[in-house]
Structure 1
Amino acid sequence: MGRGHMPIGRRERAKQAKRERIMTAARELFAEHGVSGVTTRQIAHRADVAIGTLYLYASTKAELLIMVQNEKFAAAIDVGLAAANATVGQGVLEPVIALIRPVVECLREHTENGRTYLHELVFGDPAEPYRQAGLALAGRFEVGITGLLTRDAHIDAADAATLARVITTIIHISTTATLYLHRSDEALLADIRDQIQATLAPHRRAA
């Protein structure tokens, strides 16, 4: 047997099982009622763990939301990158939109949860482990946009990084502003597309 595949012990398996039950319970309840309509006690009850046990895995409801949303965010980025890489020879706008689409849909799957998630990442304690993981995902998303922009010979690496920061800001505002909550995903994505196109236009004219 290879040394790199040591079996995990019973205690570790029990911890993993409890964490998965907590994650499943939080995911279901947040989807059903939104983050404001759920308590940590309800999550603990559905997960069949004591409230004290739940706090060993996440000390606040916000941390539980971040845990759940991080998984969704990571999956959306994976889908978006795969879609973007399939848009060969279509300039940079189409690949960027292909990457953005599943992320926007993820954030708007339940608008309250998506808005709260972004708010917690921006304004919460960046040293908290789950927020660190979420911020790392946000960085991965931004790096993905940067890489797509550098496909354009007229956009250098430094400008691409700056433009990616601007584009993520556009997405953040578009998916959190109360003014835009009534819009469908398609309408919102069309507006984001127009904003990105306008942001990239100076580089195209300079070329």
Structure 2
Amino acid sequence: MMLQGLRIVRVATGLKVLWLSGRVNPVAMFASIGGVDELLFRALNLAGTNATLDLLMILITTLGGTYVLALFAIPLWLRGQREATFDFVLILVFTVVVTTAIKYLVDRSRPCVDVSFGARTLPGYGCATEPDPSLPSGHASRAFALAGLVALRFRWRAGSAAMAFATLVGLSRVYLGLHWPSDILAGAFVGIGIAVLVELVSRRVVLYQRIRKWIVELIPHWPRRKTA
């Protein structure tokens, strides 16, 4: 235990020396990340200017909306996977709450806010319609949260398809000029983290299992199966 503590102290001391000597500068590191962020944003935001690609990205970003994603709970419920439906809805609500809280704590501006930056936006999909802060991306966090649940609960093909869809949702947000690439990464981290957390709780916490069962049993099991 003491040896481990000494190692931590040595590492911390070494980092401090590097920082003071100018070899490791946190400010420079963040500036470098910001430069990469801007470079990736411009590459994706200006990836294409044709109407077909514009419509495709609008469609994908629309599919990543809260209400549209919520519709995916319906087939789960109709297939009789009621506990999975409960977890699905909980993850969606929890992700919205956590993402919104982080957005206003960080308060990062969207790339389309600064007109001089020259972000390309499409009519009806600019900062005028989404004036809230940028990090993390709500669309990305929700899409990756639900993709995480699919990956954890179902076959690898379904999980891979869900993750690919979530990635496309994230890319569409950058393409439309509404988010930085790092917003998407942060959203993916938040979403997958919440999915893993809910999955662990649903498997190991008995109280959660009882509450979920009680709530699910309160809801009428529609459609009812016909009896012979």
TM-score if structure 2 supplies the norm length?
0.28
Higher helix proportion, which one?
Answer: 1
Higher relative contact order (CA closer than 8 Å, sequence separation 6+): 2
TM-score if structure 1 supplies the norm length?
0.30
